[in-house]
Amino acid sequence: MLADSDERTLRMQMIPRNPRNGIYPATDDYVHAMEVSGAARFLFVSGTMGLDPEGKAPDSLEEQLSLIWSNIRRILAEANMTTDNIVRLTSYLRDASYAEANQNVRIAALGNRRIPTTAIVAETLVPEWLVEIEVVAAA
Reported as a pLDDT band with limits 50, 70 and 90, residue 10 is: low
Instruction: Answer yes or no: is 15 within a domain.
Output: no
> What is the value of pTM for the model shown?
0.88
Instruction: Answer yes or no: is 18 within a domain.
Output: no
Domain of 65, in residue numbers: 43-138
How far apart are the two ends of the chain, measured CA to CA in Å? Answer: 19
CA atoms in the 13 A half-sphere facing the CB of 67: 22
Residues 6+ apart with CB under 8 A from 31: 16, 17, 18, 114, 115, 116
Q: For residue 127, what are the CA distances in angstroms to 33, 89, 118, 123, 135?
A: 32, 22, 21, 8, 22
Of 41, 36, 29, 32, the closest CA to residue 15 belongs to 36
Q: Is the pLDDT of residue 57 over 70?
A: yes
Residues 6+ apart with CB under 8 A from 79: 41, 43, 137, 139
Of 128, 138, 133, the closest CA to residue 57 belongs to 128
Instruction: Answer yes or no: is 65 within a domain.
Output: yes
99 in helix, strand or coil? helix
Instruction: Answer yes or no: is 61 within a domain.
Output: yes
- Residue 102: give its domain's CATH number: 3.30.1330.40
Instruction: Answer yes or no: is 22 within a domain.
Output: no
Instruction: Answer yes or no: is 82 within a domain.
Output: yes
Instruction: Provide the number of structural domains found in the chain.
Output: 1
What tens digit of pLDDT does each residue of 66-104 get? Answer: 999 999 999 999 999 999 999 999 999 999 999 999 999
Instruction: Answer yes or no: is 81 within a domain.
Output: yes
Instruction: Answer yes or no: is 113 within a domain.
Output: yes
d(CA 60, CA 62): 5
